[in-house]
Structure 1
Amino acid sequence: MDLSSLQRLVWENKVRKGYNTTDAPLEFCMLQENVATAFAAWRKQEELLGEELADVVLYATSIAEMTGLDLQHEVKKKVDKNAARPD
């Protein structure tokens, strides 16, 4: 699945379930909480690391949609920029 499709699916799920679709600061806080949870899972070598990292991606796609960004485009731009940097 590409990021653009994922971004749409995540957003549609949020709308369908009545989750937050307007409070960007709250989404950033939830993203931060999920990053911390993923770190704790990694540190404790828990099997939930994959699930927690998936949550991080889902919150990032939600924020992108909420703020009108095409995350797939932004990621590609950043990858290209990083590749062009000198070693």
Structure 2
Amino acid sequence: MSDLTIRDVQAAAWANKLAKGFNTTDTALEFGLLTGEVGEAFTAWRKRLPDLGEELADVLLYLVSLAEMNGIDLQAEVEAKLAKNTARTYEADANGVLVKTSN
């Protein structure tokens, strides 16, 4: 697979869940599993394990599955959020901390 879009990944992750009989209805469970995967990725990073990339991929697959489970086009949401973030402005406060000055 190459040149995949977020939509492609979302569709492929969902098709795999359906084919394997994995959870496709319990959003709370899926958030819990996603949290576990984030923890595994953090552990891989902290311990400098060679599977950090694979753990991050797991995080993405759970995330796109959550989006699909809830009828969200994650690609459209990411594109909109990137545009919003690009348009935002920030200024450093007296402590040097960046503070958002526009939405």
For this structure pair, what is the TM-score category when the shorter chain's length is used for normalisation? over 0.9
Aligned residue number for residue 27 of structure 1? 30
Give the structure-1-normalised TM-score: 0.98
For CA contacts below 8 A with separation 6 or more, give which structure has more relative contact order: 1
**In structure 2, what is the Cα distance between the partners aligned to 1:9 and 1:37?**
22
**In structure 1, what is the Cα distance between the partners aligned to 2:69 and 2:83?**
24
Instruction: Tell me how many residue pairs correspond in the alignment.
Output: 87
The RMSD of aligned alpha carbons is 0.6
The alpha-carbon deviation at position 14 of structure 1 amounts to: 0.4
5+ residue gaps, structure 2 = 91-103
**In structure 1, what is the Cα distance between the partners aligned to 2:34 and 2:49?**
19
Structure number, greater radius of gyration:
2
5+ residue gaps, structure 1 = none
SS for the counterpart of 2:14 is helix
Runs of 4+ in 1 over 3 A off after TM superposition: none
Give the structure-2-normalised TM-score: 0.83
Structure whose residues are more often strand by fraction: 2
